[in-house]
A = this chain, B = another copy of it.
Amino acid sequence: MNNNILRNNELGVFALGGLGEIGKNTYCLQYNDEIIIIDAGVKFPESYLLGIDYVIPDYQYLIDNQDKIKGLFITHGHEDHIGGIPFLLKQVKIPRIYAGHLAMGMIKNKLEEHRLVKSTNLITYTNKDVFTFKYMRVSFFRTNHSIPDSYGIAIETPVGTICHTGDFKFDFTPIGPNADLAKMAQLGEKGVLCLLSDSTNAELPEFTLSERQVGDNIKDIFRRITGRIIVATFASNIHRVQQIVEASIATNRKIAVFGRSMEATLKVGLDLGYIKCPKDTFVGPEELKLLDENQITILCTGSQGEPLAALSRIADGTHRQISIIPGDTVIFSSNPIPGNATSVGNTINKLFRAGANVITHSPLTDTHTSGHAGQEEQKLMIQLIKPKYFMPVHGEYRMLKIHGDLAIQCGVKPENVFVLDNGQVLAFSKKGARVAGAVPSGSILIDGSGIGDIGNVVIRDRKILANDGLLAIIINVDLATKEVLKKPTIISRGFIFLKDSIDFVNELETETLSFMHQALQAKKNIVQIKNDLTDYLSNYVYDKIQRRPMVIPVIMNVKRSSA
């Protein structure tokens, strides 16, 4: 890149993912022959990406410049910040991965699954650590977020200090340790060249509720309820889990845990000391029978209505160990993520049908709070760090834009706010800042075990197949004698139920035969005939029943002479 984009002794700051979109967070800093990477996230696909499991950034720039990479620094343990690590490691040699205590635990689990743990250097950092490279010096400040051990990162470079907030909110009565307000202020006092700050909640004109208040609300609800309590929340929100544990202890309830990721959270939380409680707090499913209903808390996954999660199966009546008893109270300590409102609503419908009471997060109940700063918190971060330049990160374009406007309100010069796209390189020198060009960036689609082998054509075909199914016609012909050798074979899937449509199938056969006879006589080549037959049958079907299945003609030349 240096030859083309960055000049000598310029600092390049750019994102391979995480600008203009949610997830896929991957940011790079380069100074001469030194690159550090911040986060390696994975994005869950939009609904139009049919059948795609994950979306990762295009790592081509890192592949081409692996010799310059000094390390990957992880801000916290959420999937949109660590989920891309296995895919990155399969393509790029990363000398060291640096992460906080909890994130490192989660990364190790992930690398073990992918059998990558032995080949990777893992370094756990705290907010006391400083890592010094040839040009850059990396240190950390604690933030508040919806997972413990979340950090912002400060990188001193020859042209100035860059701060990256990671995901953050401000919580002055947090469940875990306080955020390093003083350290942020000291960074600001010493002078920060550019702040990269979390834009996720830039549309919300508010200061988010403290996690502790949510815990108090949950405890109040627990005190009012008789009968079993079933609580669903995000498994990674260990502080929330701790508070549900405390509410249960305060109301003399034992806790049974359901759902694989919730069980994993609990194990990590207890092992690493994030969850503290007497040993007999948790019970297995078989012990529930021995307890009075007022002594039972069921803590489970499924707060997003995910069809296979514990709560959905409990609501469906398909869970092996638990079903709703009329009078149960289900508490959603969560908010539907945009796109999940319908599935959450369906789950609530089923819970009501089964006789449960349901309490969701609302302004009246406040059983949940966001892990991301609202506008007032975003402004506080800007006022503490007092950056000369501002680059909003983490969020869709509208959030970046609004966050940029907030920075201007807080005194950053309008010309010093850079709302960039993935790949665009912001270059800093002693003279100033400029947008210096772009490195390769984009989305790589992951389906199954392939990386990037699914392109637009495959997605487009899936869309057509999803809407109208397929109609394949297989025709054996003898090209030499220009004869159709057999009645065409018609196959359909997702189109109409052929067994119920015998007349229609007969018509299609007749139409195909008469088309083929003419086409073969007209001496067209096979490719022409196929294209024309596709058009002919597509139009025929649309005229008849106003549907547009994917028409696939297969014309096989079976030479009579071969017999």
Taken together as a complex, chains A and B put the C-alpha atoms of A396 and B493 apart, in Å, by 32
Q: Does A358 contact B (CB under 8 A)?
A: yes
Partner of A397, one of B349, B449, B501, B546: B349
Q: Is A461 an interface residue (CB 8 A)?
A: yes
User: In the complex, are the beta carbons of B449 and A465 less than 8 A apart?
Assistant: no
What 1/0 mask marks residues of chain A from 190 to 205 whose CB sits below 8 Å from any chain B CB? 0000000000000001
In the complex, the chain B residue whose C-beta lies closest to that of A345 is B396
Could you tell me if A342 and B453 are in contact, using CB atoms closer than 8 angstroms?
no
**Do A556 and B474 touch across chains, with their CB atoms under 8 A apart?**
yes
Cα of A286 to Cα of B352 in the assembled complex, Å: 56
Interface residues of A in 266-304 (CB under 8 A from B): none
Judge whether B476 and A558 touch: CB under 8 Å.
yes
- Contacts of A137 on B, CB cut-off 8 Å? none
User: Which of B345, B486, B497, B547 is A338 in contact with, Cβ under 8 Å?
Assistant: B345
Q: Say yes or no: A546 contacts B398, CB within 8 Å.
A: no
Complex Cα distance A476/B470, Å?
21
B470 touches A493 (CB 8 A): yes
> Which residues of B sit under 8 angstroms from A64, Cβ to Cβ?
none
What is the minimal beta-carbon distance from A546 to any residue of chain B, in angstroms?
3
Q: A51 at interface (Cβ–Cβ under 8 A)?
A: yes
Structural contact, A458 and B496, CB atoms closer than 8 A: yes
- With CB as the reference atom, state the residue of chain B lying closest to A397: B349
Out of B205, B339, B562, name the residue touching A364 (CB < 8 Å): B205
Q: Which residue of B lies closest to A396 (CB)?
A: B349
- From residue 481 to 533 of chain A, which have CB atoms closer than 8 A to chain B? 485-486, 489, 491, 493-497, 500-501
Q: How far is the CA of A526 from the CA of B462 in the complex (A)?
A: 29
In the complex, the answer to whether A450 meets B545 with C-beta atoms within 8 Å is yes
Tell me, rounded to whole Å, the shortest Cβ–Cβ distance linking A35 to chain B.
29
User: A20 contacts the other chain (Cβ, under 8 Å)?
Assistant: yes
Question: Given the complex of chains A and B, what is the CA–CA distance between A401 and B474 in angstroms?
Answer: 54
Known: A450-B545, A486-B558, A545-B448. A353 touches B397 (CB 8 A): yes
A410 is an interface residue with CB less than 8 A from chain B: no
How many Å lie between the Cα of A458 and that of B470 in the bound state? 11
Q: Does A318 contact B (CB under 8 A)?
A: no
Residues of B within 8 A of A396 (CB): 345-346, 349
Residues in B with CB closer than 8 Å to A250 are none
Say yes or no: A342 contacts B353, CB within 8 Å: no
A348 contacts the other chain (Cβ, under 8 Å)? yes
Contact, CB under 8 Å: B472 / A491: yes
Chain B residues lying within 8 Å of A358, measured Cβ to Cβ, are 398
A458→B47 contact, CB < 8 A: no
B contact residues around A545 at 8 Å (CB): 448-450
At the interface, yes or no: A123 with Cβ under 8 Å from chain B?
no
Nearest Cβ on chain B to A507's Cβ, whole angstroms: 15
A545 and B446 alpha carbons, distance in the complex (Å): 11
Give the CA-CA distance A152 to B489 in the complex, in Å: 56
Write the nearest CB–CB distance from A316 to chain B, whole angstroms. 14
Contact B556 A489 (CB under 8 A): yes
Beyond A47-B342, A466-B466, 7 additional pairs, beta carbon < 8 A: A20-B349, A346-B396, A352-B397, A352-B401, A453-B500, A461-B493, A470-B493
Closest 4 pairs between A and B when the two form their complex, measured CB to CB: A563-B563, A448-B546, A466-B466, A465-B465
